[in-house]
Amino acid sequence: MRWGMVIDTARCVGCHACTIACKAENESPADAFYAPVVEYEVGTYPEAHTEYLPSLCNHCEDAPCITACPSGALKRRDDGIVLADEDVCIGSRACMNACPYGAIHLFTGAEGEMLADGTRTLPTVQDRVARERHQVGTVSKCTYCAHRIDFGLENGLTPGIDPLATPACVVTCPAECRIFGDLEDDTSPISLYLERRGPSEVLRPDAETGAHTSYVG
Amino acid sequence: MSADTVIRTPEAYAPEARARHNGHRPENVFMDRWRLEPKTQRVWGVSHAIWFTLMGVGGGLFILARALDLSSRLGHWFGIPLVDWVSFVAISVGGLILIGDLGRPLRAWRAFVNIRTSAISWGAWADLVFLTLGGLLVLPALRLGSSQPFESLPWEAEATSGLGQTIEIVAMAAAVVVMVYAGGVLARPRAIPYWHSVNVPLQFLFSSAAISMALVLTMAAANDVPIESGDLWILIGFLAVLLVTIVAHLLTRTEAPGKRESLDRLLRGRYRGAFVGGVIVLGTIIPLVLAVVALAVDGTRDALAIVMLVLLVVAGFGLRLLTLRVGIFPPVKEVPGLFKP
């Protein structure tokens, strides 16, 4: 079993629903967004338009974050999911500088919304939730919603098909641009999609990470 | 709803909201942060530059003073060579700075866990081995008042016996790792192209060696030990190789995404004065010239050693800090025509 995700950027409408669904599902700290949608403009006026690049942890086969972490807090499960163990993390941030995708986030304990001038607003309810869920001074990241996958498998559901067993960002996407499933199963949604759409590309191929998140479109 | 309940209109909330936001709009992460563009790393900074510098100098000092057989001639404190004290203190302080900078300092022992792949773990073990063996090596020389409580240990601080030499060699090997691993921490991952080069650990190594040599020369001057021409040649060699590695790093893979932006900041942007004027000219070329002058004019050596030390320490710290400051992640996706600096 090797979980992976393919993102069809041609389908993305830039609604950021995945970002918000992820934040709600994982109760991530205020400044940490595990699934941001990156924007960029292409072309020149009047032919200019915005393109969207939904992003998240790439759950790399040769994950540089795991290599760099001195404490062994970052580990890859047998199914390919890379997890950060906040109970083990020492907060060296080596993983953050080793990850080419900017997918790892340090919980500094800062509360409130960051303002444009660098100051912050008052704490919010979400800050309190994040403090209960996460440890200050440690890193956290996208887990491919491993808790949902595990729950689904325990209850006979199929990740990538059954919503309760599928990452929140995938389930929420109104344009169905995220396709999730088992890369080693030829009948999984991701394998069938890749067979139909042709080969996918990974981000930062120069980093040679063996990313399990790839892109078409 | 009680009679006392006051229903406030949106207008009534406005001043309060403005006060909360301190007159500024909240950062809009959608618009302000998530753009496909080069991103500068912001998690490592001044404390890491100090850590890198102290580790390099501590390791270099121990190796050079012993390799040149100078440690016993550069002063003593409690019977132990002063140069060894400086080395141990530099590495200990560097280690403490690193621990203090961790998000969870009380778990610092876990830095030893991932020795299989993590350069930080290699460094943690090297620090431990160096401080343990280096400390044990000099212990027989420890003098408390008129007594030497560890004199009976089966080796001697000068490492003249087989056991002493073995301890010294292992300690020196650990000191080499201590000097190099900080550069390795930066150079191993491919995420930041400016860092991903063998030239980064080499720069750190030769910068540390040059600072250590200048410190040895300064301590020699302070102890009325004549500065030999051979010592100055060694310093000249370190500085020459340092200059070559800096230039080589600036001239290779100049158009690689990410490195292009780093070079732009160093050579044309906000760090130009500090890097070109400070690190390269004042911190490398001028000390190189001064070392040649000291070589030619015997009477200037003591004074020039101090000047070179000051220049090299400032430039060595600057080299490391600027290397960190220009650590730039290229955009995760290459889009032709965008992001030219």
HEC string of B212-275 equals HHHHHHHHHHHCCCCCCHHHHHHHHHHHHHHHHHHHHHHHCCCCCCCHHHHHHHHHCCCCHHHH
Q: How far apart are CA A35 and CA B245, in angstroms?
A: 40
- Supply the pLDDT for residue A21: 96
Chain B partners within 8 Å of A36 (Cβ): 29, 33-34
- Supply the pLDDT for residue B267: 96
pTM for the model: 0.90
Nearest residue of A to residue B189, measured between CA atoms: A98
Q: What is the mean pLDDT of residues A2-29?
A: 94
Q: Coil, strand or helix: which one is A117? A: coil
Domain ranges of chain B: 40-329
Q: Is A66 a residue whose pLDDT tops 80?
A: yes
- Residues 5-44 on A with a CB inside 8 Å of B are 16, 33, 36-40, 42
- Supply the pLDDT for residue B212: 96
Whether residue A121 contacts residue B25, with contact meaning beta carbons closer than 8 Å, is answered with no
Going residue by residue through chain B (341 aa), what tens digit of pLDDT does each one get? 455 555 555 555 455 555 555 555 555 666 667 888 899 999 999 999 999 999 999 999 999 988 988 888 888 899 999 999 999 999 999 999 999 999 999 999 999 999 999 999 999 999 999 999 999 999 999 999 889 889 889 888 888 888 999 999 999 999 999 999 999 999 999 999 999 999 999 999 999 999 999 999 999 999 988 999 999 999 999 999 999 999 999 999 998 999 999 999 999 999 999 999 999 999 999 999 999 999 999 889 999 999 999 999 999 999 999 999 999 999 999 887 665 54
Across the interface, of A37, A70, A204, the residue whose CB is closest to B124 is A70
Across the interface, of A40, A88, A116, the residue whose CB is closest to B338 is A40
- Supply the pLDDT for residue B1: 45
Is B103 in contact with A92 (Cβ distance < 8 A)?
yes
User: Which CATH number belongs to the domain containing residue A44 in this structure?
Assistant: 3.30.70.20
- Supply the pLDDT for residue A46: 86
- Tell me which DSSP letter residue A41 carries: E
Which class for B271: exposed (0-12), middle (13-18), buried (19 or more C-beta within 10 A)?
Answer: buried
Q: How far apart are CA B18 and CA B138, in angstroms?
A: 64
Is A90 in contact with B189 (Cβ distance < 8 A)?
no
Tokens of B266: 């160093």
Residue A33's pLDDT band (cuts 50, 70, 90): very high
Chain A partners within 8 Å of B22 (Cβ): 115, 117, 119
Number of domains in chain A: 1
Chain A partners within 8 Å of B193 (Cβ): 206
Min CA distance, B341 vs chain A (Å)? 16
Min CA distance, A100 vs chain B (Å)? 4
- Supply the pLDDT for residue A127: 84
Which class for A125: exposed (0-12), middle (13-18), buried (19 or more C-beta within 10 A)?
Answer: exposed
Nearest residue of B to residue A108, measured between CA atoms: B103
Chain B partners within 8 Å of A40 (Cβ): 35-37, 331, 333, 335, 338
CATH superfamily assigned to domain B40-329: Formate dehydrogenase/DMSO reductase domain (1.20.1630.10)
In B171-183, which positions are buried (b, 16+ CB within 10 angstroms) versus exposed (e)? bbebbbbbbbbbb
Query: ipTM higher than 0.85?
Result: yes
Across the interface, of A39, A100, A139, the residue whose CB is closest to B35 is A39
A-B CB pairs within 8 A amount to 157
Comparing CA positions, the residue from B105, B130, B110, B132 lying closest to residue B121 is B110
The CA-atom distances, in angstroms, between A216 and each of A11, A81, A141, A175, A213 are: 10, 21, 23, 14, 11
- Supply the pLDDT for residue B338: 67
- Tell me which DSSP letter residue A143 carries: -
- Supply the pLDDT for residue B206: 97
Whether residue A144 contacts residue A167, with contact meaning beta carbons closer than 8 Å, is answered with yes
Tokens of B9: 């209109």
Considering only CA atoms, give the Rg of chain A: 17
